[in-house]
Chains A and B, each alone.
Chain A
Amino acid sequence: MAHRKAKVGAVQKRTGYGIIAVLGLITIWLLFQQTRFNPAVLVAMRPPLLQGRAQAVSGQTLVATAALLPEVPGFKPLAPTESYGPENLSDKIDGKDELYLPAGFKEMSCRKFNLDTAADKTFVEVFIYDMGSAANAFAVFSGQRRPGSPSIPLTANAYATGNALFFTQGRYYLEIVADRASKTLPGSLEAYATALLAKIPSEGGQANPALLFPKEGLAQDSVRLLATDVFSMEGLNNVLTGEYHLKSGNATAFIARRDAPDQAQAEARRYLDFLAANGYQKVQTPAAAGDISVLALDNSFEVVLVQGRIMAGVHDATSVDVALDLAAKLRPALKERP
């Protein structure tokens, strides 16, 4: 059979050329885009998890704290609830995450409101941090305690400043912050706090850590729970401290409860070694008896003692007398609470 070549019409040709031209343009565009490819952008714009709305922590469980933020009459939400986990807490609070993360932070939710019952619109933001335990919540609460701010009977650990409330409830640390102070503000903030507390599951009574310290000379609201690297010693964690102003001078008392007596003994030895490595010298005093060790560097005095599962002592006393005086007060207080 004779071979006949197919003929192509002008329209077909033009259509073909058109398609080839479009493909060519796409190729040029692709080559141009590839020259501008910027892997850094992938890093820069990688969306963090949990930002801006309630999502899943680690892709598993929903953010529980978001559900605890109530809607209260008078508080008009300005935005959806935002939630953050350990991996992106710094997106919200920047370098302050270094306070929360070592203290056992689990998750945080917050929401902005306009308080429109006030004379002018007051901006209010509510934060609820799940710290995993009541002790951890107290650590971040006490670590940010504003000096001179009065305690309020909202919970066992609660205080107010001119524009805000700060308190703990169980394993939660909570802040209700307004952008201004006013006469009517405290009542409004407490109304929100009450509604918030009603939604937080009860976890039994809360111990007040200040009760562990002898009362005489203890500065009001000075008790702190320091979570990590206390007194600059790496690994010295979870230590309660209280500031004292005694007639003989000033000092800080500290109490660290451990799981077993031998752990408390080991921790005390490690702390004494740390002090010695930093130039502290042992001080011989007739009053120092038994397992009390007294050390000094320049005009700063330290006392370390162990009582059962508790390592305790005096830090940065202004004289040997105040160090021994406070240690003498501390020991019976520890005996009462083994």
Chain B
Amino acid sequence: MKQPTDEERLLSVEMNRRDFLKRLGYASAVALAAGGAGLALYDSKGPAISRVQKVLTGLGDYTLRGISSGPGKMAIVRGTDRALMFARGVKALGGMESFIQKGDRVLIKVNAAFATPASLGATTHPEVLAAVAGLCVKAGAAQVLVTDNPINNPDSCFEISGLAGAARAAGARIIAPRAALFAPVSLPEGKLLQNWPVMAGAFQGVTKVMVVSPVKDHHRAGASMTLKNYYGFLGGRRNVFHQDINGIITELAQLLKPTLCVLDGTVSMIANGPTGGSLSDLKETGTMVVSTDPVAADAVGLELLGRSLADVPYILMAGKAGAGQADYRQLNPVLLNTKA
């Protein structure tokens, strides 16, 4: 016997008014229940951050074993050839192989804050980035990443400063800021860094961190070097922190313990920082600091700017907070001269 098709079955069904009303009633009840539940559960304020997502308390400790417990290492190298100065400095500290092992994923934090050419000295010099990234690759790093959050058109900042080109040439990859990289960070007992968006996503899978910074005058902070460079990890309207610039840099110093810091004072911006603009704002100070201690590195940088620890309070404050040693001589720095 032939089975009726679906269409025939459907056509054979007679619906009376009672069926129709019942079905209409059921559908309305379901729609009302769904709408009511949505209305009841609607939270116009949105969830509190701490209840929704685990808030980070820092960006990590990337110091080498043996250094985190004792005094840091430092080399102060005089010269004019940035690549040579870095090579000599890192060699004096045990060679790049003592910092980077095969398979390491390295994050290099540069200062790419401005879309200005390297010759104006407002950003990390691409020659230093090329030297650092190149030696990381040579030492066996599986991946070298370069990052900063310049806020103002990051792509333009990386390209015009020459940092993007230097990264590409060295086999490194630029991580430009994007929404997914930011996560709320609260520094335990911090006064300013509470639930503040920080570019924590750039640290995903990272095993070593290097901070490569220029030496610059800074209108608000007094000086912009390694610790001020951490400012570039912050998202949001971070200029609100300018009102307590020493406080925020001190707190930032506690967020991250880098593997190695490179402070490039080959040419320093001694006036009108942090933007500069005139070549007369720059001075050949012929010095590069390679150190495991960011606070000590900045203390050396201050001398290049002709300033004292009293002029730039955040360095002593960061030292007291445990981020490093403000008296850099305690590190017994190795003094080198590439011209000799």
A interface with B by C-beta (< 8 Å): 1, 3-4, 6-7, 9-12, 35-41, 43-46, 48, 51-52, 79, 90-99, 112, 123, 125, 144, 146, 148-149, 161-164, 166, 175, 177, 179-181
Report the 10 A-B pairs with minimum CB-CB distance, sorted nearest first. Answer: A44-B235, A9-B6, A95-B220, A44-B197, A40-B197, A90-B239, A179-B117, A40-B184, A44-B182, A161-B278
Determine whether the beta carbon of A92 is less than 8 Å from that of B278: no
- Chain B residues lying within 8 Å of A161, measured Cβ to Cβ, are 278-280
> Whole-angstrom distance between the alpha carbons of A44 and B280 in the complex?
36
Determine whether the beta carbon of A163 is less than 8 Å from that of B278: yes
Q: Decide: A39 near B274, CB < 8 A? Known: A11-B6, A44-B179.
A: no
Q: Which of A10, A45, A91, A162 contacts B6 (CB 8 A)?
A: A10
Determine whether the beta carbon of A91 is less than 8 Å from that of B13: no
Determine whether the beta carbon of B219 is less than 8 Å from that of A96: yes
Determine whether the beta carbon of B280 is less than 8 Å from that of A4: no
Q: Which of A4, A35, A79, A164 contacts B156 (CB 8 A)?
A: A79
Q: Decide: A95 near B278, CB < 8 A? Known: A44-B182, A52-B153.
A: no
> Whole-angstrom distance between the alpha carbons of A84 and B221 in the complex?
22
- Chain B residues lying within 8 Å of A94, measured Cβ to Cβ, are 113-114, 218, 274-275
Name the interface residues of B29-70: CB closer than 8 Å to any CB of A: 46-47, 49, 52-53
**B273 at the A interface (CB under 8 A):** yes
> Whole-angstrom distance between the alpha carbons of A166 and B278 in the complex?
9
Q: Which of A4, A9, A43, A175 contacts B197 (CB 8 A)?
A: A43
- Chain B residues lying within 8 Å of A41, measured Cβ to Cβ, are 179-180, 182, 197
Determine whether the beta carbon of B49 is less than 8 Å from that of A9: no
> Whole-angstrom distance between the alpha carbons of A181 and B218 in the complex?
24
Q: Decide: A177 near B219, CB < 8 A? Known: A39-B52, A123-B160.
A: no
Query: Nearest A residue to B23 by beta-carbon distance?
Result: A6
Determine whether the beta carbon of B272 is less than 8 Å from that of A39: no
Determine whether the beta carbon of A46 is less than 8 Å from that of B237: yes
Q: Decide: A180 near B218, CB < 8 A? Known: A40-B182, A146-B280.
A: no
CB 8 Å contact bits of B152-173 with A (1 = contact, 0 = none): 1100100010000000000000
Q: Which of A1, A51, A98, A175 contacts B277 (CB 8 A)?
A: A175
> Whole-angstrom distance from the CB of A174 to the nearest CB of chain B?
12
> Whole-angstrom distance from the CB of A141 to the nearest CB of chain B?
12
Determine whether the beta carbon of A179 is less than 8 Å from that of B116: yes
**B1 at the A interface (CB under 8 A):** no
- Chain B residues lying within 8 Å of A146, measured Cβ to Cβ, are 271-272, 278, 280-281
- Chain A residues lying within 8 Å of B14, measured Cβ to Cβ, are 4
**B299 at the A interface (CB under 8 A):** no
> Whole-angstrom distance between the alpha carbons of A51 and B150 in the complex?
13
> Whole-angstrom distance between the alpha carbons of A151 and B119 in the complex?
24
A sample of 5 inter-chain contacts (CB < 8 A) reads A3-B19, A40-B182, A95-B224, A95-B274, A146-B281
> Whole-angstrom distance between the alpha carbons of A12 and B15 in the complex?
18
CB 8 Å contact bits of B222-249 with A (1 = contact, 0 = none): 0010000000000111010010010000
Determine whether the beta carbon of B235 is less than 8 Å from that of A45: yes
- Chain A residues lying within 8 Å of B184, measured Cβ to Cβ, are 38-40
> Whole-angstrom distance from the CB of B305 to the nearest CB of chain A?
15
Determine whether the beta carbon of A162 is less than 8 Å from that of B242: no
**B195 at the A interface (CB under 8 A):** yes
**B151 at the A interface (CB under 8 A):** yes
**B191 at the A interface (CB under 8 A):** no
> Whole-angstrom distance from the CB of B237 to the nearest CB of chain A?
7
Besides the contacts A41-B197, A161-B278, A162-B279, what 17 more A-B pairs have beta carbons closer than 8 Å? A3-B19, A4-B13, A6-B13, A9-B10, A38-B53, A38-B182, A38-B184, A39-B52, A41-B180, A43-B235, A48-B237, A52-B153, A79-B156, A92-B152, A95-B218, A98-B219, A144-B272
> Whole-angstrom distance between the alpha carbons of A51 and B156 in the complex?
13
Determine whether the beta carbon of B274 is less than 8 Å from that of A96: yes
- Chain A residues lying within 8 Å of B115, measured Cβ to Cβ, are 112
Determine whether the beta carbon of B275 is less than 8 Å from that of A96: yes
Determine whether the beta carbon of A46 is less than 8 Å from that of B13: no
- Chain A residues lying within 8 Å of B53, measured Cβ to Cβ, are 36-38
**B263 at the A interface (CB under 8 A):** no
Determine whether the beta carbon of A179 is less than 8 Å from that of B120: yes
Name the interface residues of B188-232: CB closer than 8 Å to any CB of A: 195-197, 218-221, 224
- Chain B residues lying within 8 Å of A97, measured Cβ to Cβ, are 239, 242
- Chain B residues lying within 8 Å of A177, measured Cβ to Cβ, are 120, 277-278
> Whole-angstrom distance from the CB of B193 to the nearest CB of chain A?
12
> Whole-angstrom distance from the CB of A133 to the nearest CB of chain B?
21
> Whole-angstrom distance from the CB of A6 to the nearest CB of chain B?
4
CB 8 Å contact bits of B270-299 with A (1 = contact, 0 = none): 011111011111000000000000000000
Query: Nearest A residue to B273 by beta-carbon distance?
Result: A96
Q: Which of B49, B117, B277, B281 contacts A123 (CB 8 A)?
A: B117
> Whole-angstrom distance between the alpha carbons of A7 and B12 in the complex?
9
- Chain A residues lying within 8 Å of B326, measured Cβ to Cβ, are none
Name the interface residues of B1-30: CB closer than 8 Å to any CB of A: 5-6, 9-10, 13-16, 19
> Whole-angstrom distance between the alpha carbons of A324 and B184 in the complex?
59
CB 8 Å contact bits of B118-132 with A (1 = contact, 0 = none): 011000000000000
- Chain B residues lying within 8 Å of A45, measured Cβ to Cβ, are 179, 182, 235
Name the interface residues of B83-127: CB closer than 8 Å to any CB of A: 113-117, 119-120
> Whole-angstrom distance between the alpha carbons of A178 and B5 in the complex?
82
**B183 at the A interface (CB under 8 A):** yes
Q: Decide: A40 near B275, CB < 8 A? Known: A4-B14, A96-B219.
A: no
Query: Nearest B residue to A98 by beta-carbon distance?
Result: B220
- Chain B residues lying within 8 Å of A164, measured Cβ to Cβ, are 277-279
